[in-house]
Amino acid sequence: MAEYLAARFAPRLRRLALTPLIDVVFLLLLFFMLTTTFSRLGEIDLAPATGGAVASPAAPPAFVQLTPETVRVNAAEADIDGVLERLDPLAASAETGFVVLVSLSGTPTAQRLVDLLAVLRARPDWQIRVLD
């Protein structure tokens, strides 16, 4: 009788049912997919320099050359943060829209170009053209 009772009340080894576990995993996956927000990356408009009206001699365009290591404003070296300081006097002498031509020399990284364009976009009345 003792053997019968021991066999009857002994813990039974049952197989683990995987179907409810898979259902829970799919529900968690669905929950996280629906609650996640995807951020958009910022967009920068690149306006290529094209032929058009000739600029007036009173307002010559400024030339900015971007290299992997340096930035030159009209052949004078500057850092990215100091570009506006060099361009502001030139823009003050311009009576109409001020044009800034950006030339890529060597292979500057895309991040350097974005940093430079972000600095130049601080002046919304300037026309910024990226040369090929």
Q: Which domain holds residue 92?
A: 62-130
Residue 43 domain flag: no
- pLDDT tens digits for 67-123? 999 999 998 999 888 899 999 888 888 777 789 999 999 889 888 998 999 899 888
Give the chain's domain count.
1
pTM of this prediction exceeds 0.75: no
Contact 116, 66 (CB under 8 A): yes
Residue tagged 């052949």 (tokens): 75
> Would you say residue 26 lies in a domain?
no
Q: What are phi and psi of 117, to 5 degrees?
A: -65, -35
φ, ψ of residue 2 to 5 degrees: the values are: -65, -40
Whether residue 50 is contained in a domain is answered as no
Both tokens of residue 13?
A: 């080894």
Q: Specify if 66 maps to a domain.
A: yes
Specify the CATH number for the domain of residue 110: 3.30.420
